[in-house]
Structure 1
Amino acid sequence: MATSIRLAPETEQRLDELASRTGRSKAYYLRELIEQGLEEMEDYSLAAQTLERVRKGQEPVHGAADVRKDLGLLDD
């Protein structure tokens, strides 16, 4: 799917310089940035949803002591 975006001149210059310096295409870096950015945004969205469920009491919360006990990591 072809998509076009407008970049600030400074951003486009930085992208041009990076592509020139590394021998990779601008399209390569744009794809990488979008994929990484999407992953980060998806992770953030999931975390925000989980936090909302915790705040509403809909998500179980486990204390560190309980986790250590369940894993058999307590000092006797």
Structure 2
Amino acid sequence: MSLERIIMAFAGFMVLLSMALTAWVNHNFIWLTVFVGANLLQSAFTGFCPAAILFKKLGAKPAAELAMTDKP
């Protein structure tokens, strides 16, 4: 799985998790949803994503790099 898809899956998971925590634990977990949304928005404009840095360190590769390794 490419880094980009991992980031999208992680962001979606975090939004769903934060909404579940908001509904079932404490209404202040809505701020986690706000943080995830703000991070997605700023990363769209700046290209800086802390989660991408973390996943790169864990070994995830960008789609372009994966495409180059698949060619014979």
TM-score surpassing 0.5? no
Higher relative contact order (CA 8 A, sep 6+): 2
- Which band: TM-score by shorter chain? 0.3 to 0.5
Q: TM-score, normalised by structure 2?
A: 0.35
- Which structure has the larger Rg? 1
User: If each structure's helix is expressed as a fraction of its own residues, which one has the higher value?
Assistant: 2
Q: TM-score, normalised by structure 1?
A: 0.33
